[in-house]
Structure 1
Amino acid sequence: MIDYDVVIIGGTITGIYAAITATKFQGRVALVQPPLAEINTNNSPIFDNTQGFHHYKIINQIANFVEQIHHKQQFGIYQESDDLGEISVNFKEAKKYANYVINNQLAKYEPAVLATLGIDVIFSEGKFVDRPHLSFVVKGRHLRSRKYLLATPSQPLIPEIPGLITTGFIIPQKIEQLSKQPQSLIVIGGDPSGIEIAQTFCRLGTKVTIVVKSSYILDKEDSEAAFLVQAQLEAEGIRILTKTKVSEVRKIEDKKFVLVGDEVIETDEIILAAGNKSSLENFNLEAVGVKFKNNKLLLNKKLQTTNYRIYACGDLLGGYSFPHIANYEAKIAIKNILYLPIFSVNYNSIPWAIFSEPQLARVGLTEQQARQRYGENVLVWRENFKNIARAQILSKTTGFCKIVGHRNGKILGVSIVGNQASEIIHVMALAIRQEIKIEAIAELPNVWPTISEINAQTATAWLRQKREKNQILKDLLENLFHWRRSF
């Protein structure tokens, strides 16, 4: 007897999203959550890997407001009196506001709300067994289901640095653990969340240092875009140490000391942003035929593990930890679980953004990746934000849009670094998903004045470049116009 259509082993918002999606598809669902280790101010569960993520995003927005106020004079805005003093942020009040926003968001995920949707929420640990049938055992109860979905939280990837664990650190997802704003801060690792936190606290007045092993920050992104973000961070006063390793960490009294190369840096707090790893050791997965490679789940494009009845999504797959990508994977997995396993993931048209300032957003391939794959058939053009009227009005002219296209007009990838990059990337993502050519983007009339104009301007310039490289077409047009003028 099958109890459920799908049992979701969760602990994340992605797991809850998968459960809600399954009920909308008329599936019978059980959601197994970890025991309630933490309770928020509303006595509702705090789902791991969720609250801290929202905290630094919200405080990041507050820091951006502060930065705008500091530059008010360039817009002709002056205070009538200097008695108001310098603009400052009460860190505790900022955290209180973040808690308010988070509690409002978490309210729709409370167990009582989920139960009204028909989801059986079980707060407990469990493991898989294959006898007498494949099932997930929770407190001695065998949860039998047609399929299972792993949507568990990942754990921080902790580098082997002597003294790091004993000294203590904070991961971006747990930034709410900071009781007060630190005077100094070191970010170890180049994960996007660490970059966002570094700029946030710098704008709040904290002295910030970033340490990365790579030659520049955000090394998975287009190098030009990443260098521009790095230059902005350094211009704001953040010290960035590239090609550098942390050798040792120690705590003496209330201060932490980090040995970076031959230099010892004193700091109030350490943020570890070295990425995440899966944490599936306690689920007895190998006993039910689920295989791993390099400590990562082996998955096909349908998100099935090597046991075709067990699927996975979210942070367990590796890569950037972006909620919208995890939810996309969850929806694909749920459709395969409830219907036929015919749906596959396609990451080529999924955009993502890093909320630094300027923002960095990308969809598809970087220029380097495209040239490796398509060689001389790749044409690239970048248009600067300084040529966009709206950007000039807002005094947000730093940045560019880069279109990486095939000679046939197919969009291979787009990188945007600049104001509202996270918003304007969506049109380009839709174009890639629907296989819309660059010509269509160039011909789309945009509302004036808007930042979105940069998409059409870049596409138009890309086409102009393509024509300039087509000598046969240039000669043909030149002869045509010469012939017409001769009459």
Structure 2
Amino acid sequence: MEKYDAIIIGAGQAGIPLAKKLAKAGWKTAIIEKRLIGGTCINDGCTPTKTMIASARIAYLVKNSNKWGITTDSYTVDMPAIVKRKDDIVITSREGSEKNLQETKGLEVIFGEATFTGIKTLSVTLKQGDRRFLNADKLFIDTGAQPLIPPIQGIQDINYLTSTTILNLTEVPEHILIVGSGYIALEFGQMYKRLGSKVTIVEKGEKFLSGEDEDVAETMKNILEEEGIRIYTKTQVSQVQQLNPTQINATLSINNLTEEISCSHLLVATGRSPQIGSLNLDKTGVETDDKGYIQVNDRLETTTEGIFALGDVKGGPAFTHVSYNDYIIVWKNLLEGADLSIKNRLLPYCLFTDPQLGRLGLSEQEALQKGYQIKIAKLPMEHVARARETGETLGFMKAIVDIPSKRILGAAIIGTQGGEIMSVLQVAMMGGITYEQLRYAMFAHPTFSESLNNLFMKIEE
């Protein structure tokens, strides 16, 4: 049994910086990774998808360049080149992260699969087949999540795609059917539509983007449909069948009616499930919920003292920045004696469609449900000077403010730079800056953020 001060299981966006921080603090530390350094973000998520989305945006701009007074005769989508560019960026990011880990004194990187044999003891099956036995005073689980495959009749008999496997397609699908309408579905859907695919999105729920205000969801749906994406709601894929290597037949159930759709590719984007299968958590006393997510307290400690869970494996919003903030909370509490908590932390997120949807804090409906006295500031992007100048006027800015305190409670920004504008409001919320202060602030002209002046003037109209 090899003894460590700390063991991190999973080299994702929480595990990597935590391992380095603990090792640099003098803790004898090991980080165990069964697959690839960098986790979902670098290998299967943020880095590759946003790289490919950038290529799709170029295709869209070229196709529509006459809007800006530029005429092009034709263009060609080179899918292998797009995939290679993505792979090059992913490999560079992954190798950089691995090198930093390997060069950290007091930190051992172990490639293998970890299984608990006791409360704080592990068996690690190495990639070459050998086994090691480790224990530590503190253990940190950062094993992330994986695509969830729904129980659709025939799904296991077809060549379906997930958010991981679709990244390696070297051809543009003729017609891609996407099951689900979350962030993965919408980003891939718009990307492949712009690269030349026919795209159909199927959502079983009654509402599109059900977690957003109705005006936000409706605007995003209209934007995607205007690009030619067909979106079904209140619809389930009840059965699929592989007719031949290039044709899949799907049966849709819509209000007790059925419709048959033929597609060349099917992407399953119905959510993710925690990667805990090989951990053998019943040996530890670590409790999970009914979906398998590890239960933690506000300081990210599990039901077993000294064992923590960070990132997607603990449930909640599955964003890289949440994982990284989990790391900050844990290391500051352990090494600096801080008392940080995940409770009531401000959550920003961004849907990287084009235009983007930047979201922050409370929605209008959430604010009303919590009993706030609110006012809504809303400004169409077509009234934003910078948007008119760049020719990208889709969307709007929306902010929710608390009347008594004049503080900003939340925002939704649909626009080309939606995530960046949202980040300006986030800093204001973090600093307790009121909407009145932003209304009269001096911003550089002409920028998108400058229109926060005009946005908050709407409150007084």
TM-score by length of 1: 0.86
Which protein has the bigger strand share? Answer: 2
Rounded Cα–Cα distance in structure 2 between residues aligned with 1:127 and 1:337:
25
How many angstroms apart in 2 are the aligned matches of 1:454 and 1:135? 56
Cα distance in 1 for partners of 2:451, 2:440 equals 12
CA displacement at 1:246 relative to structure 2 = 0.7
Letter aligned with residue 283 of structure 2: A
Task: Give runs of aligned pairs for residues 356-395 of structure 1, distance below 5 A.
Answer: 356-375=353-372, 377-395=373-391
Q: Tell me, what secondary structure is at the counterpart of 1:221?
A: coil
**Contact 1:360/1:418 (8 A) holds in 2:** yes
The unaligned stretches of length 5 or more in structure 2 are 126-130
Distance 1:156 1:49, change over 3 A: farther
Using the TM superposition, give the Cα deviation of residue 28 of structure 1 relative to its aligned residue in structure 2, in angstroms.
3.4
Q: For each residue in 1:72-101, what CA deviation from the matched residue of structure 2 results, as whole angstroms up to 9, or x when unmatched?
A: 22222235xxxxx42221111111111121
Partner residue in 2 for 1:475: none
Aligned to 2:409: 412
1:449 and 1:432 map into 2 onto residues whose CA distance is 23
1:225-304 equivalence runs, <5 A: 225-254=216-245, 255-261=247-253, 262-294=258-290, 295-304=292-301
C-alpha distance after superposition, 1:357-410 (max 9, x if no partner): 1110111011111100025x1211211111111110001111111111111212
Q: Deviations over 1:212-263 (max 9, x none)?
A: 0123332222321221111011001100001111100110112111111211
Using a 3 Å threshold, how does the CA distance of structure 1 residues 66 and 312 change in structure 2: closer, same or farther?
same
8 Å contact from structure 2 (residues 361, 409) kept in 1: yes
Q: Deviations over 1:88-131 (max 9, x none)?
A: 21111111111121122112122x44121122101122222437
Whole-angstrom distance in 1 between the partners of 2:123 and 2:338: 25
Cα 1:290–1:109 shift into 2, 3 Å = same
Q: Which amino acid in the other structure matches residue 121 of structure 2? A: S
- Pick one of 317, 322, 335 that aligns with 2:332: 335
User: Partners in 2 of 1:30 and 1:287 — Cα distance?
Assistant: 20
List gaps (5 residues or longer) in structure 1: 37-44, 80-84, 466-487
Residues 129-278 of structure 1 correspond to what in structure 2 (within 5 A)?
A: 129-130=117-118, 134-138=120-124, 141-254=132-245, 255-261=247-253, 262-278=258-274
What is the rounded CA distance, in whole Å, between the counterparts of 1:225 and 1:48 in structure 2? 28
Q: Which has a greater percent of helix? A: 1
Looking at structure 2, the residues matched to 425 and 189 of structure 1 have their Cα atoms a distance apart, in angstroms, of 26
RMSD: 2.2
Moved more, 118-127 or 226-235: 118-127
Task: Give yes or no for contact 1:350–1:429 (8 Å, CA) kept in 2.
Answer: no
CA distance in 1, matches of 2:415, 2:27: 43
Match of residue 89, structure 1, among 60, 77, 84:
77
Which residue is 1:446 aligned to?
A: 443
Deviation at 1:35, TM superposition (A): 5.3
Taking the aligned partners of 1:144 and 1:136, their CA distance within structure 2 comes to 6
Contact persistence 2:11–2:38 (CA under 8 A): no
1:355 aligned partner, one-letter code: F
Residue of 311, 315, 319 corresponding to 1:314: 311
Look up the match of 2:128.
none
CA distance in 2, matches of 1:256, 1:168: 9
For normalisation by structure 2, the TM-score amounts to 0.91
SS, match of residue 358 in structure 2: strand
Partner in structure 1 of residue 53 of structure 2: 60
What is the distance in 2 between the residues matched to 1:342 and 1:77?
Answer: 57
Aligned length: 447
Match of 1:483 in 2: none
Aligned counterparts of 1:67 and 1:242: Cα–Cα separation in 2: 26
Letter in 1 for 2:113: E
Deviation readout 1:268-318 (Å, 9 max, x if unpaired): 111111111112132222222111221322211111111121111111132
- Alignment-mate amino acid for residue 106 of structure 1: R
User: Aligned in 2, Cα 1:314/1:275: closer, same or farther, shift over 3 Å?
Assistant: same
Q: Which stretch of the first structure deviates more once superposed, 19-28 or 292-301?
A: 19-28
Amino acid at match of 2:250: V
CA distance in 2, matches of 1:450, 1:59: 26
Residue 341 of structure 1 deviates from its aligned partner by: 6.5
The answer to whether the 8 Å contact 1:190/1:212 transfers is: yes
Q: Deviations over 1:425-461 (max 9, x none)?
A: 1111122222222222222211100111232322232
User: For each residue in 1:316-374, what CA deviation from the matched residue of structure 2 results, as whole angstroms up to 9, or x when unmatched?
Assistant: 13244321221111221233344447221245423110011111011101111110002
Shift of 1:6: 2.1
Give the superposition deviation at 1:49: 6.0
| Aligned residue identity for 1:128 | F
Deviation at 1:175, TM superposition (A): 2.2
Q: Which residue of 2 aligns with 1:398?
A: 394
Contact 2:31 2:108 survives alignment (8 Å)? yes
| SS of corresponding position for 1:145 | strand
1:412 maps to a residue whose letter is L
Inter-partner Cα distance in structure 2 for 1:436 and 1:24: 37
Change (3 A) 1:401 1:179: same
Check 1:78–1:253 CA distance in 2 against 1; reply closer, same or farther (3 A cut).
Answer: closer
Q: Does 1:123 align with 2:111?
A: yes
